[in-house]
Structure 1
Amino acid sequence: MSEATGWPFWVMVVAFIAIGMGTSCMYLGAVATCAKNYGKGKHKGIMLAVPIAAFGLSGMWQSQLGTYVLYERKVDGSRGDVDVFRYFLFLGILLFVIGVIGTFALRIVDDEEEEYIDRTVEDLERSGLLEESEFFRPRHEIQAAYGTFNADAEEGSVTLSEEERQQRKRDLEREEEERRKKNWLLNYETRIFLQDPTMWWLAAGFFLVTGPGESFINNLGTVIPTLTPRSYAAAAPPAGLPSTHVTTIALTSTIARLLTGTLSDFFAPVETHLFPPIPEDRRRARLEAEQANRPTLSRMVFLLPSALILSCGYLLLSTPLPLIDPPLLHLTTALVGFGYGGAFSLTPIIISVVWGTENFATNWGIVAMMPALGAALWGVIYSTAYQRAVNSGSGFADGQCHGWSCYGLWAVTSTISVWIAVGVWLAAWRGWKKRGIVV
C-alpha cells in the first residue's frame, strides 16, 4: 500500500484555527454592531436575533450546495461525496468577499456613542460610584499631560495665531478626555460584568446547554450509522442523510431565533438594567406606564422553555425508540435545533438588557466561549462512549458503531446537563429579581 501524499496534518490544524477565529470575529462584529445601533430601541430582540439566525441559516444552504452542486462524480456519472477542495475553495472566496464588505459596511450610525458615554458617566457620578475614581482628576492634571506635546506643537506652528493654538490645544484635550473616559467606562463595565455572580450563573447554564448541542451537531455523521441496521445500504440510511439533518437544524434554529427575538420584544417588560443605572423615580414611572398598557413576560419565560425543548430531543434519543424507528431521529434533530436556537438567541439579548450595550461585544464574547468549552467536554464524552462500544463488540467490520451503547450514555448526560442548566438559570433570574433587574 502506497503512502498518502499531501500537506502535513498541522497545516489543517492551523487552517481550522484561522477559520474559527475569522468566523468568530465576523459573527461578533455583526452582532455587536446591531446591539449598539438598535440596543436602546424597542426591537433589540429581533435585531440581535437576525444576525444570529443568519449565522445558523448559513449551514443549511451551504450543506445543500456541497451535497448537490460541489460533489465528486463517480465512474458511472452518479453523484458521489462532497468535493472537499472545491467546497473549501468556495467557502474561502465567499468569506473573503463578505469580510471585505463587512469591514466597510458595519458602522455605528447616528454617532450616539459619545452621548451615551457622557450620560452614563453622569448617572454613575450622581450615584456616588465615581467619587474614588482615578479618571476624575483635576483639569490641570489633564492639561499637564499635554505639556511636552503642546510645547513641541507650538514650536512647529509659529505661523498660527495665539487663538488658533489655544483652540487646537483645547481640541486635543477634549479628544484625549473623551478617549480616556471611554476606556475607563469600558474597563469599569468589564469589572462589573466579571464580578457579578449572576453572570457566572448565566454563563454556566449556557455552557451546559450549548455543549451537548455543539456535540450533537458535530457528531451527526456518526450518530446516523448507529441507527442503521446491517441490511440497509450506507447510501440510504433510514435515519436520513447528514445533509438533511444539518438543514433541519438550520431551519428550526433559525425559526426559534427569529421567533424568540420577536416575542421577547413584544412581551418583554421595560428595562431596569444593572448598567448603566436608571434613577429609581424614572424606573418606577416607566414600569407603571408600561404595565398599564400591555401584558409583559420576562425573557426568561422564553429561555427556560427553549432549554426544556432541547432536553426533550436528548431524552427521545436516550430511549430505545430511535433504534426501533430510526426516522425518529428527525424529530430529535428538530427539537435540538429549536431549543438550541432559542437559547443561543436569548442569551445575548439578556446580556444586553442586564449589562447594557456599550461593552456588549466584550461581555457576549466572554460568554460565547462557553460553546467551545462545552463542545470539547461533550465531544470527549461521546467519543469515549462510542469507542468503548466498538471495543466491546458493537462495531461492524467497517469500524462503525451500531446500537444504543454507541450514543446512549452521551444522550443521557446531555439530558441531565440541560436540566441542570435550567436550575442554574433560575438561580440567576432569582438574583436579578432580588436586585430589581427586570429581564
Structure 2
Amino acid sequence: MASSSSHRDHSIERLDFDSQRQKRRSSNNAYESEQTSLLASDESFFSDVVEGAIVRDRRKMAQRIAKYLSFLVAILCCLCAGSITAFSLYGPLFISHLKYSQYQVNAVSTAAELSMYLLTPLYGWLCDRYSPRPLVAVSAFLLGGGYLLAALTYHAGPTLYKLRTHRGTDKSELELQRQGWPFTVMIIGFLGIGAGTACMYLSAVTTCAKNFGRGRHKGLALALPIACFGLSGMWQSQIGSHVFKEEMSGNIDVFRYFLFLAGLLFAVGLIGSLGLRIVNEEELVDEAVDELERSGLLDGRGIPYDDRGEAQADERSTRGVRSSRTSGYGTIDSDEADELPKPRHVHAYNTMKMKLKKRLVLRLSFPIFFRDPTMWLLAFGFFLVTGPGETYQNNIGTLLMTSYPEPSARPPPGNSPATHVSIIALASTLARLATGTITDMLAPTPSSDTHYKAGRKCTVSRIWFLLISTALFSLGQLLLATDAGYNDPETVFPISSAFVGLGYGAVFSLTPIIISCVWGVENFGTNWGTVAMVPGAGAALWSLIYAKVYQAGVGDDGSLECFGAKCYQSTFFAMAIASWVAIALWAVAWKGWRQRGVVV
C-alpha cells in the first residue's frame, strides 16, 4: 500500500511541465472544462456559418427585389416614352391653329425623328458608361421641357398681321396684331422630345437586358418593354382625344394635352432615375471579360488585364492607396509600408479596379462589334425590313384612298386609317410578346459546363423565328404588289396590315435579343443604339420611293391624288424583294455565328 501510495504521489500530472499554468483541481473538473470549451468552440463555428448563410440569403433576396422593381420601373418608362408616335393626333392642328405650312409641320416631326434616331449610339454609350440612371434623369428634363415649350408656343398662337390703310392716302402697311412665339421654339421643343424619347427608351431596355440577359427569360424581359413602348402612343392618343377635348370644336385641346405629357414624363423620368438599377454589375463585367477571352471574337488576342498591364494601370489609378514597388525579394521598404492597402481602403481599391475592368470591356467590345461582318449583315437586313414597315404605317391613309376613285367614296369604318393603325399596333405587340416568350422556351441555351453547347434536347434557333416573321412581312407586301388590293380593299388591306404588323413587331423584338446573345449585354446600349439608327434612314428612303411612284401615277387633269393599283404596286414589289434580301443576309450571318460556335 505504501509503495502504491508513493508511486501515486510521485506521478507527473499533465500540466506539471508548465509552471505558468494552474493545475486543475480534479480530473473531473478538467474533463468538464475541456468539454465545455469544445462545445463553445463548435457553437461559435456553427453560429458563424448560420449567420453567414443568413446574410447571403438576405443579400440575394434584396438583389432579387431590386431587379424586379427595376423591371417594373422599366415597363413604366416604356409605357410612357412613346408619346411622339401620337403626332398625327395634333399635327393637323398646327396648320389650322398656328397657321403653319405643311412644310413646317413636316419640319417639326422630322426634327423629333432626327434627334431620336441619329444620336442613339451616343445615348447607348452614355447608358453603358455611366449606368441608365443619369440618362433617364436627363430624359425627364428633355421631355418635360420639350412639351412645356411646345405647349407655350401653341398657346401663344400664330403671329398675325393686319393690313392698315392711312386716311387720306393710298398707302397701306402691315400692322402687328398678335405676336406669337417663333417657329424655332417649336423646333427646339421637339428636338428635346425626340432626344428624351430615345434616352428613356434605351435606359429602360438596357436595364432589362443587363439584369435578365444572362437568365432563361431574356427574350421576354426584352420583348415586354419593347412592346409597351409600341403601346404607349396608342393609350396616350386615346387619353388626348377623349379627356382633353374641346367642347366647341370637338378637337383635342393641344395646350392641355402637352401640359399633361410634360408633367407625366417628367415624373416618370424622375421615378426612373431612382428605380432603374443594374444588379450585380461586378459579376456582369467579370463574365464579359471571360466571354471576350474565350468567345473567339478577339481573333487570338488576349485581354491585357493581368501581369504588367494591370499592375501599371492599378498603380496609376490607385496611387496613394498602394505601392507595387519592393526593395527586394520578399521585403518591403519601411517608407512604403504605409501605402499598402488598409481595410478602409479595400472597398475603394476594389471599386477602382472594377471601373478599370468595365472601361476595358467597353473599349474592346464596341470595336469588335463594329468590325464584325455579321453585325453589318444584321444591321442592313434590319434596315431593309424596318424601312418599308415605317413607310407602310406612315402612308396607310393615302394608300387606302387609292381604291376609292369616286369623289364621294370613302373607306368604310372597318377599313379606315384608324382601324389599320390599331391592327398594326395590336399585331406588332402580339408578335413582340409571342417571340420573346416562345424563343425563351425553344431557343438553345449555353450549357454551364461547355459555354456553347445547347442545354435543351429539342431547340429552335431565334434566327428561324426571324426568318419566318420576315417571310410573313413580305407576304403582306406581295398582296399589295398585285391587283387584289384595288379589287377587294376591304379584305386585302386588313390582311396586309396584319402581316406587316406581325413581321415588323417580331423583327423589332428579335434583333436586340440576338445582339445580346451574340455580343453580350455589357455593351448592349451602345450596340443596340448603333443598329437602332437604321429605321430612320430606311423610312426616309422608302418614303421617297413611295412618293415618287405615287406622284408618277397622278393624271394630267391637275389632280394631286392618284387612284388605282399603279400608285403603289411597284413600290411594294420592291419592298418584298428587299425583305427577301434581308432573309438571305441573316442566313449568311447565322452561318458565321454557327462557325464561331455562338448559340443564338
TM range (shorter): 0.7 to 0.9
Over 3 Å counting, the alpha-carbon distance change for 1:205 and 1:140 in structure 2 is: closer
Aligned partner letter, 1:129: R
1:176 to 328, 346, 352: 352
Q: Is the 8 A contact 2:478 2:576 kept in 1?
A: yes
RMSD: 3.1
Q: 2:286 aligns with which of 115, 118, 135?
A: 118
How far off its partner does 1:333 sit? 1.2
1:202 aligns with 2:378: yes
Give 1:334's aligned residue.
Answer: 498
Match of 1:137 among 295, 298, 309: 309
Secondary structure at 1:290's aligned position in 2? Answer: coil
Question: Which position in structure 2 is the counterpart of 1:248?
Answer: 423
Match of 1:371 in 2: 535
User: Secondary structure at the residue paired with 1:282?
Assistant: coil
2:444 matched residue in structure 1: 269
What amino acid maps onto 2:526 in structure 1?
T
In 2 relative to 1, CA 358–195 (structure 1 residues): closer, same or farther, beyond 3 Å? same
Q: Which moved more, 1:16-25 or 1:90-99?
A: 90-99
Alignment equivalent of 1:323, drawn from 478, 483, 486: 486
Q: What corresponds to 2:433 in structure 1?
A: 258
Deviation, 1:82, is 4.5
Residue 290 of structure 1, aligned match among 434, 438, 456: 456
SS of residue in 1 equivalent to 2:209: helix
Deviates more, 1:366-375 or 1:16-25: 16-25
2:68 paired residue number: none
Q: How does 1:89-238 map to 2 (within 5 A)?
A: 89-109=259-279, 112-122=280-290, 124=292, 129-130=301-302, 132=304, 137=309, 139=311, 142-147=314-319, 166-232=342-408, 234=410, 237=412
Structure 1 residue matching 2:415: 3-state secondary structure: coil
Structure 1: which 5+ runs fail to align? 152-161, 273-277
Amino acid at match of 2:591: R
* 2:216 corresponds to: 42
**Residue 171 of structure 2: aligned partner:** none
Q: What percentage of aligned pairs have identical amino acids?
A: 48
Choose which of 408, 412, 435 in structure 1 pairs with 2:596.
435
Q: Which residue of 1 aligns with 2:581?
A: 420
Question: Which residue is equivalent to 1:411?
Answer: 572
Instruction: Give, as a single letter, the amino acid of the residue that structure 2 aligns with 1:403.
Output: G
Q: Report which stretch shifted further, 25-34 or 125-134.
A: 125-134
Contact 1:389/1:405 (CA < 8 Å) preserved in 2? yes
Identify the residue that residue 204 of structure 2 maps to in structure 1. Answer: 30
1:394–1:176 Cα change, 3 Å: farther
Q: Which moved more, 1:193-202 or 1:141-150?
A: 141-150
Distance 1:229 1:315, change over 3 A: same
Q: Decide whether the 8 Å contact of 2:445 with 2:456 is kept in 1.
A: yes
Supply the distance in 2 between the matched residues of 1:115 and 1:401 (Cα, whole angstroms): 60
Shift of 1:306: 0.6
Distance 1:400 1:163 in 2: 80
SS at match of 1:93: helix
Equivalent pair of 1:253/1:342 in contact (CA under 8 Å): yes
The residue aligned with 1:158 is none
**C-alpha contact (below 8 Å) 1:49/1:257 kept by paired residues:** yes
Asked if 1:355 is matched to 2:519, the reply is yes
Inter-partner Cα distance in structure 2 for 1:9 and 1:135: 60
- Maintained 8 Å contact 1:394/1:403: no
1:377-429 superposed Cα distances (whole Å, 9 cap, x missing partner): 11111222233333x44874xx4433323333322221111111111111111
2:7 aligned partner: none
Instruction: Give the conservation status (yes or no) of the 8 Å contact 1:59–1:246.
Output: no
Q: CA deviation at 1:106?
A: 1.5
Contact 1:36–1:357 (CA<8 Å) still a contact in 2? yes
Paired with 2:316 and 2:363, the residues of 1 have a C-alpha distance of 24
Task: Tell me if the contact between 2:386 and 2:538 (Cα under 8 Å) persists in the aligned partners.
Answer: yes
Would you say 1:344 and 2:519 are equivalent positions?
no
Contact 2:381 2:583 in 1 (8 A): yes
Q: Which amino acid aligns with 1:98?
A: V
**Structure 1 residues 52, 166: CA separation in 2 closer, same or farther (over 3 Å shift)?**
same
TM, length-normalised to structure 2: 0.62
Cα deviations across residues 179-230 of structure 1 (Å, max 9, x unaligned)? Answer: 1110111111111111111111000100000001111112223223223332
- Summarize deviations over 1:44-75 as a string: whole Å, max 9, x none: 11111000111112233334444455455566
Q: Which residue of 2 aligns with 1:302?
A: 465
1:130 is paired with a residue whose SS is: coil
Task: Report the residue type matching 1:225 in the other structure.
Answer: M
Q: How far does the alpha carbon of each residue in 1:218-253 deviate from its partner, in whole angstroms, 9 at most, with x for none?
A: 22232232233325355x556733222211111100
What's the CA shift for 1:345? Answer: 0.6
Question: Does the 8 Å CA contact 2:428/2:504 hold for their aligned counterparts?
Answer: yes
Q: When the two structures are superposed, what TM-score results if normalisation uses the length of structure 1?
A: 0.82
Q: Contact 1:228–1:237 (CA<8 Å) still a contact in 2?
A: no
Report the Cα distance in structure 2 between the residues aligned to 1:433 and 1:401, rounded to whole angstroms: 48
> How many residue pairs were aligned?
407
CA distance in 1, matches of 2:423, 2:557: 28
* Equivalent residues of 2:320, 2:339 under 8 A apart: no
Instruction: Show CA shifts across 1:327-350 (max 9, x none).
Output: 232221111111100111111111
Change (3 A) 1:101 1:224: farther
Change (3 A) 1:124 1:431: closer
